[in-house]
Amino acid sequence: MNIILLGPPGAGKGTLSNKILENKNAVQISTGDLFRYNLSNKTPLGLKAKEYMDKGELVPDQVTIDLLWDKFDSLETKENDEKIILFDGFPRTISQGQALDDGMKERNQKIDMVIYFDVSDEILIQRLTGRRTCPECGATYHLVNNPPKKEGICDKCGSELIQRVDDSIETVKNRIEVYNNQTSVLIDYYSKKGILKSIDGTKKPDEVYKEFENKLGEIN
């Protein structure tokens, strides 16, 4: 079963993905992870992507898609296999969505469901700007939802917590704007296909996972 997790940054895609991986026979395909793996291992596709990144240019869709299919085709899937394959961070545009559909058809497969995380911009900004990270051990906190025991100090190693540059309010607003301009059109794209399932991303993680399982039951 092929499932896309669709939603703006901070909507809860990563949290739900982790719960699915813990509880189901599932594999995640994350474009961020694909880039990191191929770059660090200096694969042919990774080196190709690096050429553009070194110039400060965006990696072309085709290179990203080639990375995705390289991973997808490496997964061992059998007929009637109940494995769930999660697409996180892809597609981001209509052209990527169409390329994904074409690749699925070539493999006699299809996207079974698209989970859309419905969260207001106001809540997204609160979530993302409230994140704090430990630069030493990597632990993460949130000023409202998961604060450290001592303000500004990591519970695990005692280091001073920092706010990442991409979690500043200016950067967060820009990331959301980019999403609204590019990726949000996919909501209509998949809605017309009849495979879009909306989830209330403001709920607690356990409630979001339960809602996911309910949506999963609708297509079984």
Active site residues: 13, 92, 131, 164, 175
How distant, in Å, are the alpha carbons of 182, 200, 201, 203, 216 from that of 210? 29, 11, 12, 10, 10
Residue 204 has a CB neighbour count (10 Å cut-off) of 11
Taking only Cα atoms into account, the Rg of the chain, rounded to an integer number of angstroms, comes to 18
Q: What are phi and psi of 172, to 5 degrees?
A: -60, -45
Write out 156-190 in H/E/C secondary structure: CCCCECECCHHHCHHHHHHHHHHHHHHCCHHHHHH
Round to whole Å and give the CA distance between 91 and 97: 5
